[in-house]
Amino acid sequence: MKKIFVACGAGVVTSTIAITKLKEGLEERNIPEDNYKIGQGSVGEIESNAGDYDAVLVTSQYESDNVNIPIINGISLLTGVGADSVIDQIASIIQS
């Protein structure tokens, strides 16, 4: 099972929207929910949680040399522009 950490500024509103869109997109790609687990938090929690996850999806600007897992910009899940590409990236991580 792959684990994805979804983060936004405060860890509540935009990450919740991104999780909803991500789950819808993964369902459309026939990836069952028992193949992945999604955690949620703020960007300030990324570094302390990164060791427990396979990838991070962020809905704000974030860069760190201290995180050794893929960091995927998920702003497109909020805007709709390019959302399929982001969902495809996460799907690829889950299926790897």
Calpha distance 10→7 (Å, rounded): 8
- Strands annotated E in 11-81: 36-42, 55-58, 71-73
How many folded domains does the chain comprise?
1
> Do 52 and 70 touch, CB atoms closer than 8 A?
no
Say what the pLDDT of residue 63 is: 86
Say what the pLDDT of residue 24 is: 97
* Residues known to be catalytic: 8
In order along the chain (96 residues), what is the average pLDDT of each group of 10 residues?
A: 96 95 98 97 96 97 91 96 97 97
Domain extent, residue 20, equals 2-95
Question: SS3 for 68?
Answer: coil
Say what the pLDDT of residue 61 is: 86
CATH number at residue 43: 3.40.50.2300
Say what the pLDDT of residue 64 is: 86
